[in-house]
Structure 1
Amino acid sequence: MGRPPENRRQAMIKLMWIGIWLLYLASPVSDLADGGHSLAAAVPAAFGLIVFVAGYLVLAFFRTNNPGPPQPWVYALLVALASLALALSALLGKNWLVLFVYVGVACGAALPGKDSRWAVPLSAALLAATGAVVDPHGTLYPSLLVPALLGGFAMIGVQQLVRTMRELRSARDTVAQLAATEERLRLARDLHDLLGHSLSLITLKSELAGRMLPDRPRDAAQQVADIESVSRQALVDVREAVSGYRRPTMAAEVASARSALAAAGVSARLHVPDRIEGLTPAGEGALAWALREAATNVIRHSGATTCVVALETGGGSATLTVSDDGRGPDDSCPPGNGLTGLGERLILAGGSLKTSRAGDGGFTLTATVPLAAAPVGAKQPPNGE
């Protein structure tokens, strides 16, 4: 429902469902077959009935499930059907009044809601007016008024159902596209942050190993072993990121940042508590990504000699601050992919990202995530800490 036929089989099935309701035309057909009319009247009447049925099938087949506004030919065909029903009923008698029921159904199926709401009652009123003339004793036409109204308004309801189903399908497709886009963004962020940090560390240790050879082969061998370890861990991280299970922890990223900064010759001062009450896994993961990105930028871009990392709580949130004494931000360049992706991560965790120039001219990155509310009745730590 809600979709036009896509092949001949579906078209035939739809035509069969529409054709079932043509059984109610037995009354005018039997009136022709009984021989109560002259040949001069029966032949035009039969031709008119065939034209009426053809016009009705065209409207029911091509306008049902058609989301676009009706074209002028639709209104012209409806007027033609109503005119045929009026002419045949007036000339041949009350057995032909059933045609007005099909006119009401066609109005409900072919017209938009704002038009069909008055077109269906109008067809029923035309039925009543014609019936009052050709069936003055009211033996037939009163019983046709209810089917004419119910059939027309039922088709209005079907059309509304079709529109709703079409909108739901469109919304489902949109949600699927958004989910795919979000997954691509997640992979892009994870791979950028993972490979950027790991490759920077591998490059740094490779340079150290090269400077240590051939005078310090033992130290160079240690650097090569570190390169192998970092490469293996990077491979594991990439596999976890692709699988959707990658969520770094603060403890692991603090240890990694300390090792990477030391290898780069940057003096690191890290003030990060082992545990923070109320820090959710999503919030911890976002802060861990922030620490990884900040440490990578210090190593690759800052030229700093000192880096200070602090994680503090207050005001219902946890704030990670990473500051260095390097060359500071370049105001003429827009933020790179790493900071852009990091900002998206923090927004998804309900937090925010801010970057600025440090007091000594370096670069400061501040990442904030909300803390979960403490359960009612939970004991508060001493001194309000």
Structure 2
Amino acid sequence: MASDKTFMEQTAAPGASAGFDYQYYYFLYRLLNLKKGQSIGLEIKDDVHTELDNDVQMLFQLKHTIQKQADGSPIALTELDGDLWKTLHNWAKVISDPNDKRSTEPEQINFIRKTEFHLVTNKSTSKTNTFTTLITSYIEDTTPENASKINSKLDALEKSTTDATIKGYINTVKALSDYAKREFFKKIIFNIGESDIIQKIKDTIECKFIEKSKIDEVYDRINSNVRDDSFISITAGSATTILFDDFNKKYQKIFKDARSKRLSTLHFEPALPSDLLAQRFVNQLIAVDDICEQDDEIITEYSTYKVRLARSLEQWLQAGEIVADEIDALHRDVHLRWRNSHRAAFRKCSEEQIKEKGLSIVDNMRMDKYLLGDDELNTEYSNGELYVLSDNNTIGWHRDWDKI
């Protein structure tokens, strides 16, 4: 026996969050497909809308479900589905909106002819949904006979349902004039089974001449920036409309960066050695009093730099972003800089100055940034390179570092 849901469970509405994400990701997908002269809006004329450069607009209603069928696929879009009829009802209301100067049939026809109506849903196709089949058939062959079949189906569905809300939605569509309905039915497009929108976004990114190894990085950056900008606009009470030229100007650097030879940004938390104090590079830093054994937090931070740089070098090499001789050149250059600094520091150094001189070497080298091929490593990676070499017993900070 199923237990009743608590009030908090009823109001948590996990499907609502998924529905908003679905709407946003479709907005992002359409945004990435904008062409010169076009614009896109979020939650203005519809869930999402696009205005083309030929005075044509595309309205998108996004309907998402978290309900599953026995095989794990989303439930089907049925003939009397609330999402289907609420969408058609909304569009019929928009078409006949007197507050937008569309109270007469000619005004409604003019609006319909320059508008496409897209219902996008992750719900699966229903083999028994003859209504959507009739709409599709009418678009392919706009004969009076096919239009009549749709009107007959509307009458039959309205009579068959006992749901007063659905009945009202159907009657709103039926209330349009016969001429308006015929034109409206021509412009309805069903995008059913649209589940993996994120993959479609990534495919679009790849089509913009982005290497496969950079697609996820571009996706992460464009998603983060657009989402933040859209949220800021909505919370500020301003409409989120983006022109192609504005989008290109604001976000082109993300694509430009990815097309350059810059190394991809890797996001991971590396697994650290179980005994951090046993690391050679840690003991080298302790030897010049840069850290002490009790500095757990800083030792963990430095260890993360070391492991992250080592792992990144491996992944960049495997991905073909760098070649082995570039890694060798990095190690040689940093080693030479260290050797010059070390020799200069300890050339005339008393016993009392050993730790002070060692600290000056490590402090100065931490301030430097090192080149890997044509790329300048950031400070974290550059510091990580120092700790990698020190851990490999290639460099050290004490005068007698090789004996530690």
TM-score (norm 2): 0.26
User: Which has the greater radius of gyration?
Assistant: 1
* Structure ranking higher in helix proportion: 1
TM-score (norm 1): 0.27
